[in-house]
Amino acid sequence: MTDKKIIINSLWRFKMRKIAFLAMMVPGLANAELLQNLFIDNKAMSLGNAVTADPTGIMDIHYNPAGLTKLDGRQFQLQFHNIMLKSEAKFSLPDDYDPDKDGLLAISEDPILDEGKSRANVAAYFPFIGTVGIPLPIVALPTVGVSIKPPGSKFTFANALYAPMAAGFSKDKDDPGRYQAREVAIQRLTYLSPSFGYQVSDEFSVGAGLLFSHQALALEQELRAPNVLVGVLEELQDAFGCFDQVTGEPTGQDPLAPFITLCGGNVGPYDDIGTLSIDMTESLSPSFNLGMLWEPNGWFKWGAVYQSEATSQLKGDFELEYTKEFSDFFRNFNSSIIGAITGAIFSFPQGQTYEAGHVNTELTYPQHFQTGVKFRYFDIFHLNLDLGWTDFDEWDSLYLKFDRPVSFLSTAKILSPEIVTDTTLDMPLGFRSVWTYNVGMAMDLNSRIQLRAGFEPRNSSIPKDARSLQAPIGFARMYAVGLGYQWDLDTVIDLSMSFMKSVEHINADPQDASSNNEYPSSSNSLNRNCLTCVVTNPYPGLDIDTKLTIGHAGISFRTKF
C-alpha cells in the first residue's frame, strides 16, 4: 500500500510539473525584440548610428525630425538593406560532469548531444501572411520616403515606410534548438509617418512626427519536459514492461490497471510533447517622435530626440498540438479509477490531441531618448558622439490572456497560482533599461565623396538569468564603414557595410545543484539543473555556447523630383 501511494504521489507531481512546463514556454516570445534601431538608414549605419546631430536625410523622421529642415524642395529616397544573419548554438556536457552520477534524468543520454550544432537563419513577419523563414542567411529589406519643402517656407514635411524594430529566426524541423523556438519573429513596421521640421532660426530647428505602425509577435516551438519526475515515470514504465525495449511497441502489460494505468503512451524526459504556435498582431499602434537641432557655429552641432513608447494590444491565435504518445498516456490514465478522480480534481488533460483559441497581450514598445554632438575639424574631419537610453524596464513581465480555459494552464495554476489562472499567464521577464554610446567619424575626401566609419557597443537588456536561444543577444560591438557620394546637384548615394557579433557562454549549474541556491552562470530560461524547478528549461545540465553574427551591406538613393 505504501509503495502504491509513493507511485501515485510521484505521478501526480510529475503531471503538475509537466503541464506547468508547457505554460512556461511562452515568455521567450519577447526576448527576440532587442535587435532594434538597426537597418533603418545607410548613412546612420556607417556612422555607428551617431547621427542625432548629423542629419541623414528623410530618415531623420526616426533619428531627429529637426534634421528634416536640411532638405530642400521635393525629394525621394529609396534604400536597400542586405542583411546576413546567422545564429549558432553548441550543446555539451560540463567538463567535470560525472556520468556515474547521472541519476534518473540521465543528462549524458540527452539525444541533443548527438544532433550537432543548432543553426538558425533569418525569418521575417509579413502582415496578413505571418512568419516566413528565409532559406538563405541573407535577406533584403527596403525603406522608402519622400519630403517636401515649399519655396520660402520654414517647414519641411516628410513621410516614410520603415521598420524601427525587426528580428526573426528560423530553424530546420530537426534542429537541436527547436525546443526554444523553431521560428520566432517580432516586428514593428511603420507604414505611415507624417513628420515635419521647422527652422526656428538660423541656429535652431525643431521637429516632430506622428507614427502609425503594425506590431507583430509570433512563435512556433517544439515542446519537451526534461524533468527528473518524468524520468521517474519512464523508469516505472520500464519496470512494468510497458513497451518493448527493442522496437518500442506496446506490450499490452499494465499491472496496476484498472486502478491506475501508466502504459497508455511512451513518455520520457527527452520525448516530444507537442508543438506550440502563437501569432499576435496589432494593425494600428501610434507613437510620436520629437527632436531639436542647435547649430551655433560651423564646427559644433548638438541634437536630441525623444521617441515615445507605444502600447499595442496584440490579438491573435494559439494552437497546441500534442504528440500521439502524450495524448494517449493521459487518455488512458484518465480512464483508470485513480486517474478519473485526480484528473477531475486537478484538471489534468483529457487526452486531447489539439487545443486552439484566441490569445491577447499588451506589449509596450519602449520609449527611447538619444542626444549627441558633432564636431568639425579643419573643414574636412567630422566626429560624432551620441548617448542613448531605452526604457526596457517596461518589460517587467508578459501577460497573456486566453479566450477559454486551457488545460495546461488549469493544471499549472496549482503550482504557480501567483502567475497562472485557468485563462491567464503572467510571466516575469525582469528586463532592464540600458544606456549605450555611439561613435562616428567621417572625412571629406573631396567635394563629392565623404568616407565614414562607426562604432557602437550595444548593451543587452536581457538579464543573464533570462538568456535563451530565442534571443542569443548579449553584449555586441558593431563596426561599420561607408561613404556618401554627391552624384550631382540633386542626387546623393550612400553606401554602408557593418558587422556585429555576440558570443555567450551559458554554463550549467553544478551537477549536485540545489534549488535553494543561486547559480548566476546558468539561465532560468534555458539550462537550469534544478530537479524540481518549474521553468522554461528544455536543456537542463548542459553547457550552451551561442554565437550570433550579423552582417549588413546597404545602398540608398536620394534625389529631387
- CATH of residue 105's domain is 2.40.160.60
239, part of any domain: no
Confidence of residue 85 (pLDDT cuts 50, 70, 90): confident
170, part of any domain: yes
Torsion of CA 198, 200, 202, 207, to 10 degrees: -30
Q: What is the pLDDT of residue 442?
A: 97
Q: What is the pTM of this model?
A: 0.86
Residue bearing the bigger pLDDT, 294 or 408: 294
Is it the case that residue 352 has pLDDT exceeding 90?
no
Confidence of residue 123 (pLDDT cuts 50, 70, 90): confident
Residue 45 domain boundaries: 2-221+277-323+356-510+520-560
Considering Cα of 539, then 540, then 542, then 545, what sign does the dihedral take? Answer: positive
267, part of any domain: no
Check residue 153 and report its DSSP letter.
-
Residue pointed to by grid coordinates 538569468: 465
Is it the case that residue 26 has pLDDT exceeding 50?
no
Residue bearing the bigger pLDDT, 396 or 499: 499
Q: What is the pLDDT of residue 36?
A: 66
Percent of the chain's residues with pLDDT above 70: 88
Residues 6+ apart with CB under 8 A from 100: none
Q: How many domains does the chain contain in total?
A: 1
Is it the case that residue 25 has pLDDT exceeding 60?
no
Considering Cα of 305, then 311, then 317, then 323, what sign does the dihedral take? Answer: positive
The mean of the pLDDT values for the chain is 85
Is it the case that residue 374 has pLDDT exceeding 90?
yes
Q: What is the pLDDT of residue 399?
A: 86
Is it the case that residue 538 has pLDDT exceeding 80?
yes
Confidence of residue 536 (pLDDT cuts 50, 70, 90): low
Q: What is the CA radius of gyration of the chain?
A: 27
Q: What is the pLDDT of residue 513?
A: 65
Cα 470 from Cα 548, distance rounded (Å): 11
404, part of any domain: yes
Is it the case that residue 195 has pLDDT exceeding 60?
yes
Residue bearing the bigger pLDDT, 414 or 110: 110
Query: What is the mean pLDDT of the segment spanning 364-369?
Result: 93
Q: What is the pLDDT of residue 514?
A: 60
DSSP 484-540: EEE-SSSEEEEEEEEEEEEEEEEPPPPTT--TTS--TTS-TTTT---TT--SS-SST
Region of poorest pLDDT, from 49-63, 434-448, 505-519: 505-519
Backbone angles phi, psi at 263, to 5 degrees: -110, 20
Is it the case that residue 30 has pLDDT exceeding 60?
no
260, part of any domain: no
478, part of any domain: yes
Cα 488 from Cα 311, distance rounded (Å): 43
Is it the case that residue 348 has pLDDT exceeding 80?
no
* Residue-wise pLDDT tens digits, 204-244: 999 999 999 999 999 898 888 787 777 788 888 888 889 88
179, part of any domain: yes
227, part of any domain: no
